[in-house]
């Protein structure tokens, strides 16, 4: 749908942030309507923008055929419903972050928008900030070297919400930027926080994201902080970059550094910071210029529904960990450790520095090495070795005689059959040290590895994939794939519940004959049409 001139846009909500959207849409000549239920806010809009229709009914806006697009700036809990209603009414949609509060609902909204050929754009504002766009160019150019670590602080003594916690209010900005800078999604997250003002509404959270490449990131957000701080630091092995949105003069700086060794002791060598010149411009205005351009040209927004889904998935995982993570047991003042909440057989060994989750069982002659994290409700059978530097998710079952070597990550609900083999060096020689050449292996949520199967290092096993007994896996395995043979080849597709999926080759639709879960196949990808809760399957 090509058109000239700005779209006719209605803004739903003119509160603390919504009035900034109203201002920008008005300045761009695109604002026709504002929906606001608060009489004082509505009166202020009517006085400031006399040519704009101010109404109190969303239904009135959505029924108006002259409205081409809506911008949603209401509380986060209302986003999902309003987005769906607007799309159903045939409107293009801009919605402030987050898209909604559920990954399942988010997937449905993205599918809903695509089916109706509507624009769906989410307000991840930092991707329209000149400094962040420049930072992305610097990272992609390799000027920082290999990225090692990212951290962000978004702190303020701000307006405290009761509808959404600080994680959902502040962290989406930083999650979005970190995922975009790294070009990958985390394979595990951890989150801690506290609710100090309103019960069950966290005011402070710290989230740690771990990525398949080995990069780690942490995000510290709080609205109980004595001063405002909005800072993102990207650490490479050649330079560091600092984005400081509160710096009025230089929002982006580069810090060259080097590590020199003197008498076998590392000494950092610092140099003066290098300010990076960036273009001027208000990010919110640039964001809505982009939205209006997408409405006019039908181009895909930079921060479309799929980008929002990636952010939403990370937030949901952080929220889940935030709710589930209890206090860690620590030694008493006398130095005697309190009773652990997991089981270790008397013949098994758990090294200092290893973390073991509640209700996990470690059986006869097994060994968990240092810097290994094992989640909750896992079972390690007889003669299992894990570590060092291995991550094992929740509810993982590893049967007898399996070694999980450094570089291997097993996500939640993975099953590893007896005598399955992992490697971490591709071409080992006893006389040639190659531990610096470790290749990482990732086994995604719900996958099953059959007895005596071999997983060659450097591959990723997709979610709910099924590796047959004795198979040798040499390359990445897509979600739900059934792999057999040596070398492994795909011979079918498997349901979440572990039964084979039968597909109609004509339209790519399929279903499990046991649990009736519906699936869709497109090329070498299979997706569940309705998300399945793995905990419900387990029960």
Domains and CATH numbers, the chain: 9-123+285-299 (3.40.50.720), 127-281+315-324 (3.30.360.10), 343-538 (2.160.10.10)
The answer to whether 95 touches 82, Cβ cutoff 8 Å, is yes
Cα separation, 437 vs 418, whole angstroms: 27
DSSP 53-71: EEES-HHHHHH-TT--EEE
| Rounded mean pLDDT, 272-288 | 91
Q: What is the pLDDT of residue 328?
A: 42
Question: Could you tell me how far CA 513 lies from the centroid of its own chain?
Answer: 32
pLDDT bracket for residue 163 (50, 70, 90): low
The CA distances from residue 317 to 137, 190, 246, 264, 471, in Å, are 29, 8, 29, 42, 32
pLDDT bracket for residue 160 (50, 70, 90): low
Closest CA relative to residue 293, chosen from 62, 69, 522: 69
The answer to whether 458 touches 441, Cβ cutoff 8 Å, is yes
The residue among 189 and 535 whose pLDDT is bigger is 189
- Whether the pTM exceeds 0.75: the reply is no
The residue among 441 and 6 whose pLDDT is bigger is 441
Q: What is the mean pLDDT of the chain?
A: 89
Q: What is the pLDDT of residue 335?
A: 45
The residue among 330 and 101 whose pLDDT is bigger is 101
The answer to whether 469 touches 450, Cβ cutoff 8 Å, is yes
| Rounded mean pLDDT, 423-430 | 89
Cα separation, 40 vs 14, whole angstroms: 10
Q: Which DSSP category does 328 fall into?
A: P
Whether the pLDDT of residue 320 is over 60: the answer is: yes
Q: What is the pLDDT of residue 524?
A: 82
* pLDDT per position as a tens digit, 471-499: 999 999 999 999 999 999 999 999 999 99
| Rounded mean pLDDT, 411-431 | 93
Q: What is the pLDDT of residue 263?
A: 66
* pLDDT per position as a tens digit, 325-368: 644 443 444 444 445 789 999 889 999 889 999 999 999 999 99
The answer to whether 309 touches 531, Cβ cutoff 8 Å, is no
| Rounded mean pLDDT, 260-277 | 76
Q: What is the pLDDT of residue 339?
A: 57
Cα separation, 7 vs 70, whole angstroms: 10
Q: Are strands 448-449 and 460-461 parallel, antiparallel or unpaired?
A: unpaired
| Rounded mean pLDDT, 431-457 | 92
| Rounded mean pLDDT, 36-52 | 93
Q: Are strands 92-96 and 69-72 parallel, antiparallel or unpaired?
A: parallel
């Amino acid at each position: 749908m090509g058109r000239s001139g700005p779209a006719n846009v209605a803004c739903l909500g003119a509160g603390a942030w919504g009035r900034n959207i109203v201002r920008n849409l008005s300045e761009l000549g695109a604002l026709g309507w504002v929906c606001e239920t608060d009489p004082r806010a509505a009166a202020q809009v009517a006085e400031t923008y006399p040519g704009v229709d101010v109404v109190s009914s969303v239904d009135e806006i959505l029924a108006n055929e002259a409205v081409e697009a809506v911008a949603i700036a209401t509380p986060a809990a209302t986003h999902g419903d309003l987005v769906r209603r607007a799309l159903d009414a045939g409107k293009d949609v801009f919605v402030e972050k987050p898209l909604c509060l559920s990954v399942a609902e988010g997937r449905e909204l993205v599918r809903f928008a695509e089916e109706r050929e509507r624009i769906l754009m989410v307000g991840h504002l930092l991707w329209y900030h000149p400094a962040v766009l420049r930072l992305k160019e610097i990272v992609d150019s390799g000027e920082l070297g290999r990225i090692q670590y990212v951290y962000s602080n978004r702190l303020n003594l701000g307006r405290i919400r009761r509808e959404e916690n600080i994680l959902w209010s502040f962290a989406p900005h930083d999650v979005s930027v970190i995922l975009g800078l790294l070009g990958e999604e985390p394979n595990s997250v951890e989150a801690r926080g506290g609710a100090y003002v309103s019960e069950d509404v966290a005011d402070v959270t710290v989230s740690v994201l771990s990525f398949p490449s080995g990069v780690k990131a942490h995000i510290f957000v709080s609205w109980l902080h004595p001063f405002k701080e909005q800072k993102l630091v990207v650490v490479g092995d050649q330079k560091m970059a600092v984005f400081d949105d509160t710096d009025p003069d230089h929002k982006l700086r580069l810090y060259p550094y080097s590590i020199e060794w003197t008498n076998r002791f590392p000494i950092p060598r610092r140099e003066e910071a290098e300010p990076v010149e960036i273009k001027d411009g208000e990010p919110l205005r640039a964001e809505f210029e982009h939205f209006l351009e997408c409405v006019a040209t039908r181009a895909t927004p930079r921060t479309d529904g799929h980008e929002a889904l990636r952010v939403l998935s990370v937030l949901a995982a952080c929220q889940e960990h935030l709710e589930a993570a209890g206090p860690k047991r620590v030694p008493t003042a006398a130095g005697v450790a309190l009773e652990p909440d997991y089981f270790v057989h008397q013949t098994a060994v758990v090294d200092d520095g290893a973390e073991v989750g509640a209700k996990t069982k470690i059986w006869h002659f097994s060994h968990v090495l240092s810097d290994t994290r094992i989640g909750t409700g896992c079972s390690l059978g007889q003669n299992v070795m894990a570590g060092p530097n291995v991550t094992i998710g929740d509810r993982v079952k590893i049967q007898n005689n399996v070694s999980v070597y450094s570089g291997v990550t097993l996500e939640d609900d993975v099953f590893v059959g007896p005598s399955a083999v992992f490697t971490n060096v591709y071409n080992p020689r006893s006389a040639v040290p190659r531990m610096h050449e470790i290749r990482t292996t990732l086994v995604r949520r719900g996958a099953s590895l059959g007895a005596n199967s071999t997983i060659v290092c450097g591959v990723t096993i997709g979610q709910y994939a099924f590796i047959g007994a004795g198979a040798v896996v040499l390359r990445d395995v897509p979600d739900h794939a059934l792999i057999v043979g040596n070398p492994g080849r795909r011979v079918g597709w498997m349901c979440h519940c572990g039964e084979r999926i039968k597909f109609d080759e004509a339209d790519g639709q399929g279903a499990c004959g046991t649990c009736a879960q519906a699936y869709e196949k497109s090329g070498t990808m299979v997706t569940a049409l309705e998300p399945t809760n793995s905990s419900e399957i387990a029960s």
